[in-house]
Structure 1
Amino acid sequence: MAALNCCSVIIVGAGISGIMAGKVLAETGVKDIVILEATDQIGGRMARTKFGGLTVDVGAGWIQGVGNGNGGQVNPIWDLANKYNLRTCYSDYSNARFNIYDQSGNVVPRSVAGASYDLAVNAANRELDMEASGEEDVEPQFVPSTPLELAIDYILNDFEMAEVEPIPTYTEFGTREFMVADERGYDYIVQKLAQQFLQSQNGQIIDDRLKLCQVVKEVEYKKEGVTITTEGGSIFNAKYCIVSASLGVLQSDLIKFKPELPRWKRNLFFDCDIRTYTKIFLKFPQKFWPTGDGTEFFLFAHEKRGYYTFWQHLENAYPGSNILMVTVTDEESKRIEAQSDEITMAEAMSVLKIMFGNNIPQAQEILVPRWWNNPFQRGSYTNYPHFVNKKHFQQIKAPVGPIYFTGEHTSEKFNGYVHGAYLSGIDTANMIVDNMKMKHENERYNSYSCGYASKKDERLFAIPSTFSSRTQLNRNWDIVRQMVWNRINVSRHNLGKWALLFSPLKYRTCNEVNSHS
């Protein structure tokens, strides 16, 4: 198939980071963009479906970080939820540790559960202190062994309880969390953001710059730009490309880069894990579980860690729904994804009968999302180890030639969160805009000061990746000085970037400079 006309930017993926990148580009005047989305809807891991007569969010479901954080900032997703009048429900996890059912169906005494919880938290904090002091090969200070200890370890480590370590989301925005319980779904936010720059009609996006069901197969890049080929044989050309695919997809072989991405970049993709977080929904003819204050979340203590451990009734979010939700993670998610829904229902019902007795009604419906086996997601969110530093994040979001990367995995502070994806899209778009401005100034300054003719096919790079000699370096630095002497209108911001580009002592390739922008 013949290639389509060249545009300025192609965005791979229409999750919230890709949509925000497109919005920022459009608002700064870069409107000739194309967004390629592999599925038939936008939103990415913010996804909803119908279940039990309701709309439920099978992906991201909470707005985390609400209240008065130390940073004095308001979570931008909370702002948007309020702007669009999304219905939310406050999630109070504080009693979950005291609603632990043992394998006899009894609730563990509050004092016993509290003591075990405090022991685990204190041990985890000691480990963090030892690591922060520079100790190597820190031995675990708490090794869970009993079903109760395993359940507590699970909620502390798999659910990022803020007691264990300071998490920027909670310290900067606040510690409260709100579950989205709106018939329009959490992804309604993404829909509204997209409609601000993509043409829509009756609430539906009809803009041909958004192309759904376009699975990107290959991204070929060179100095002149990128050529993207889809599985259907469509070809798209652009000067820049933003890849907003999840880190799980980047770890897979779904998208081929030609030439292959540099080894340093590929290695970064595998320096962290992709967590799989599976919310299993069960619909019953009537409720049989406690629904009073402090009962929304409850745990099942099993000798196998994470075996149908974390439960939530949805009566607070959806009164009268008669729906229970159990969350499994990682290896249990993968195990459950690989088996039939009938087996999963039987396992979940067996656990519920242990907790509430054999006379409970049979579930009428079950919904099991499969994020790990979804080739366009390959997991739920990024989980970076403690040793990852600022340089790692600078490198993982650093462009490779005309290819830029965005998504929650590129956010140093807020990786793993919706607001992290949202903010990363803004950052990446601004990086491209800055690069475009710098290249425009480069051409203008070269033409003004040195008589060089602008070359349209060389506008993708601000400078060559190598220089032949120190003389050439000094010559380019002289260009900057000459521009100042000639009183060309240069802002301090852009002059600083030129100094970084052309200083012989601080010279980096264009890619490395962009990674430090």
Structure 2
Amino acid sequence: MSSSPSFGLLALAAVLLALNLAQHGSLAATVGPRVIVVGAGMSGISAAKRLSEAGITDLLILEATDHIGGRMHKTNGPATPVDMVVDYYKFDYEFAEPPRVTSLQNTVPLATFSDFGDDVYFVADQRGYEAVVYYLAGQYLKTDDKSGKIVDPRLQLNKVVREIKYSPGGVTVKTEDNSVYSADYVMVSASLGVLQSDLIQFKPKLPTWKVRAIYQFDMAVYTKIFLKFPRKFWPEGKGREFFLYASSRRGYYGVWQEFEKQYPDANVLLVTVTDEESRRIEQQSDEQTKAEIMQVLRKMFPGKDVPDATDILVPRWWSDRFYKGTFSNWPVGVNRYEYDQLRAPVGRVYFTGEHTSEHYNGYVHGAYLSGIDSAEILINCAQKKMCKYHVQGKYD
């Protein structure tokens, strides 16, 4: 018996549908919204993990660089100078900006130390701090059994997002290589500095209240400069891990740290600079920076034979278009109202990142927790139809 033309067309349609679903396995395997996550730093990976746990597994993570981990990176007015460096150690060394611009509302007491203790540890794991992010990603993204590398097609590296179009019906994301991706929602985990730059264009433009909130917070610059020497010339032993350089110039190579405990016989020193000094140093050569540092060290240890550093590493967070700074800081004048606006979604566009963490902004655990919080906001809308985000009044 021959089949009717209508039956043949239906069969053909069924075959085409099956082929289409086979090419988009995640769509076939799940029922639910499709979400694009912009950025594979701690907050983006954390948000995608929480979405996946909630059953939203049709994910696409677009990362601008060639690795996950975001800003994690590894590489094989006092009266006297003493008062100034102590003041710098208490404020700038923690918040990357001077106390004249740092709001006490989010810093006294500092929630991170109140909740987790006063101890500060330097990560000496050879795998780098980003191993934590890889561990989280490996809980929901497919990895190669032998190498442990992430091979899940839902993670796309070297995809620089340049445009996000959004409407009541969905979102479209365009990358620098002219690839276009469509979804129901987008989660933007780009840094505050990137949001303040013109790297990502939103169409239509973000509403005025959102833009104002983005620019009311600071993107600080915090630079750890590493130097390797042929031998040690600095004090060692218990209680001598840190030492300060007292200068009449605020923040001029003021806070030093040695790593004999973490890396025996490595002969490595770390000096931290922030804010204006960070920006100045990023614009000069490493050789110029090394010359300035050697001059400082020889003033600090006048009775020692201080050899020239054999190697120097100067991170450039501010100059990097994918970061535009190191971490966010709450300036004077902002409170919970601006914070709520900063992390509030705009239609189908959601926001996450350490800058959206109310208590732990500037820290990795802040990024991790903000990813979970922002994912919950999206989940409430996508699965429970609870899409209204409440922003309290400025003085409520």
Aligned mates of 2:217, 2:184 — CA distance in 1: 30
Give, in angstroms, the shift of residue 42 of structure 1. 0.2
Give, in angstroms, the shift of residue 515 of structure 1. 4.1
1:280 aligns with 2:280: no
Which among 386, 389, 393 is matched to residue 335 of structure 2? 389
Are the aligned partners of 1:382 and 1:409 in contact in 2 as well (CA < 8 Å)? yes
> Deviations 1:205-240 (Å, cap 9, x if unpaired)?
000100000000100000111100001000000100
Cross-structure match for 2:384 = 438
Are the aligned partners of 1:306 and 1:328 in contact in 2 as well (CA < 8 Å)? yes
* Count of residue pairs the alignment pairs up: 350
Alignment of 1:52-451 (within 5 A): 143-160=77-94, 165-201=108-144, 202-357=147-302, 359-439=305-385
Give, in angstroms, the shift of residue 173 of structure 1. 2.1
Q: Which amino acid aligns with 1:46?
A: M
> Deviations 1:304-337 (Å, cap 9, x if unpaired)?
1111111101112211110001010011001000
SS of the equivalent of 1:311 reads: strand
Q: When the two structures are superposed, what TM-score results if normalisation uses the length of structure 2? A: 0.85
Cross-structure match for 2:15 = none
> Deviations 1:94-135 (Å, cap 9, x if unpaired)?
xxxxxxxxxxxxxxxxxxxxxxxxxxxxxxxxxxxxxxxxxx
Q: Which amino acid aligns with 1:40?
A: D
Cross-structure match for 1:38 = 64
Q: Which amino acid aligns with 1:231?
A: E
Are the aligned partners of 1:395 and 1:515 in contact in 2 as well (CA < 8 Å)? no
Alignment of 1:460-499 (within 5 A): none
Aligned mates of 1:165, 1:436 — CA distance in 2: 37
Give, in angstroms, the shift of residue 516 of structure 1. 5.2
Give, in angstroms, the shift of residue 27 of structure 1. 1.3
Q: Which amino acid aligns with 1:257?
A: F
Q: Which amino acid aligns with 1:243?
A: V
Q: CA 1:249 to 1:257, structure 2 compared with 1: closer, same or farther past 3 Å?
A: same
Aligned mates of 2:355, 2:338 — CA distance in 1: 11
Aligned mates of 1:345, 1:27 — CA distance in 2: 48
Deviates more, 1:145-154 or 1:339-348: 145-154
Cross-structure match for 2:40 = 14
SS of the equivalent of 2:225 reads: strand
The structure showing larger relative contact order (alpha-carbon pairs under 8 Å, at least 6 residues apart) is: 2
Aligned mates of 1:218, 1:400 — CA distance in 2: 15
Q: Which amino acid aligns with 1:266?
A: V
Aligned mates of 2:271, 2:41 — CA distance in 1: 25
* CA RMSD, 1 decimal: 1.8
Aligned mates of 2:110, 2:121 — CA distance in 1: 17
Are the aligned partners of 2:233 and 2:305 in contact in 1 as well (CA < 8 Å)? no
Aligned mates of 1:175, 1:363 — CA distance in 2: 32
Give, in angstroms, the shift of residue 386 of structure 1. 4.4
Cross-structure match for 1:464 = none
Q: Which amino acid aligns with 1:199?
A: K
Cross-structure match for 1:49 = 75
Aligned mates of 1:160, 1:305 — CA distance in 2: 15
Are the aligned partners of 1:397 and 1:515 in contact in 2 as well (CA < 8 Å)? no
SS of the equivalent of 1:178 reads: coil
Give, in angstroms, the shift of residue 379 of structure 1. 0.4
Structure 2: runs of 5 or more not aligned: 1-22, 28-32, 96-103
Q: Which amino acid aligns with 2:53?
A: E
SS of the equivalent of 1:172 reads: helix
SS of the equivalent of 1:49 reads: coil
Q: Which amino acid aligns with 1:196?
A: Q
Q: CA 1:210 to 1:515, structure 2 compared with 1: closer, same or farther past 3 Å?
A: farther
SS of the equivalent of 2:115 reads: helix
SS of the equivalent of 2:389 reads: helix
Q: When the two structures are superposed, what TM-score results if normalisation uses the length of structure 1? A: 0.66
SS of the equivalent of 2:358 reads: coil
